[in-house]
Amino acid sequence: MASLSQNQLDQFETEGYVVAKALLDFDEDLLPVVDEYADVLDAMADDLFAAGEITSTYADLPFGERLTRIYVEAGRQTAQYLDISLPQKAIQAGTPFWAGSAVFWLLRNEKLLDAAESFIGPEIYSNPVQHVRIKPPEQMVAEMVPNDLIKATRWHQDVGVVRPEADDTEMLTVWLPLTASREEHGCIKLIPGSHRDQLLAHCPVSTGGYEIPTRLFAEDETIPIPMDAGDVLFMSRLTCHGSLANTSGQIRWSFDLRYSPTGQPTGRSEFPGFVARSRSNPETELRDPDAWHDMWRDARDRLAVVDDPTYNRWTESNPACA
């Protein structure tokens, strides 16, 4: 059992976050995902090369350098090929996503679920508010439109990017790096204790997306959270956080996952979640990675033929955004 200690649970209660050092083993828990993503990058490169958007697939380069070269040459957001969720809008029949078996088993990793059980109990739902972020050195993509999947992540609270129906959901953020995530790599930054405050306004920004205006919180109390591959950060849904810019020469690769008690609203009902653990009804657990992939494919097919759902509750006319 990878249950957390009482000291760790006390820190989470007091500060809204805790890091479990070396909770995961790289070779056992993370390497299968790394290997799977080599194939994902192959497929992405082949698609872009066939479309004439890149002049080479750069197959001879290491993963991080290859991905960066493709980002730069394509000159547009191609991170969606790698993401484990659909975008919030403009979904089309061919919108790429990744829901592979190695990622599925990471979501069902017993060490993660044991730790999550320490926070939210034994009936655990894999909440579909999730992403993979593989961020290249930011100076290499400086001319590209800001995007949280490839550049610094704006200030936000995780409950602020879902519908109000999930405001009381005990949503747990589980953030884990697959590469070094130190300050120069663009590690997480957060405000300890900010989870004790209310949900803050998330205002639209001119380049797209939303962020909490810095005047609404104590930005001077920001701390960085440097981590290594295998460490896992657990955060409250109300903890105010973002990430630094990647000023290093390497990619920064992370997964941010969400778990919540089964039966509580996810805030994005159009996206598919699943029962990851049930102590009372283990037969309800999803154990088939192909079925998980098909759930995302079916969601994409449905959303491609309807108007974009709305998840964000604030507009430019909100007094806090004026």
Mean pLDDT of the chain: 95
Which of 151, 110, 121 lies closest to 247, judged by CA?
Answer: 151
3-state DSSP assignment of residue 96: coil
301 versus 145: which is more confidently predicted? 301
In this prediction, residues 116-144 reach a mean pLDDT of 93
**pLDDT tens readout for residues 192-220:** 999 998 999 999 987 778 999 999 999 99
What integer pLDDT is reported at residue 55 of this predicted model? Answer: 97
In this structure, are residues 178 and 35 in contact, taking their beta carbons and an 8 Å threshold?
Answer: no
pLDDT at residue 318 is higher than 90? no
pLDDT at residue 24 is higher than 90? yes
pLDDT at residue 76 is higher than 90? no
The one-letter code for the residue type at 64 is: G
pLDDT at residue 283 is higher than 90? yes
Q: Which two tokens stand for residue 144?
A: 């590209």
Could you give the count of Cα atoms lying within 13 Å of 51 in the half-sphere of its Cβ?
11
What integer pLDDT is reported at residue 271 of this predicted model? Answer: 97
Q: Which domains does the chain have, with CATH numbers?
A: 6-321 (2.60.120.620)
pLDDT at residue 107 is higher than 90? yes
In this prediction, residues 104-124 reach a mean pLDDT of 97
State the pLDDT confidence band at 320, using cuts at 50, 70 and 90: confident
**pLDDT tens readout for residues 250-279:** 999 999 999 999 999 999 999 999 999 999
In this structure, are residues 244 and 183 in contact, taking their beta carbons and an 8 Å threshold?
Answer: yes
Measured CA to CA, the distance from residue 24 to residue 133 in angstroms comes to 18
State the pLDDT confidence band at 1, using cuts at 50, 70 and 90: low
Which of 19, 272, 230, 280 lies closest to 126, judged by CA?
Answer: 272
What integer pLDDT is reported at residue 2 of this predicted model? Answer: 65
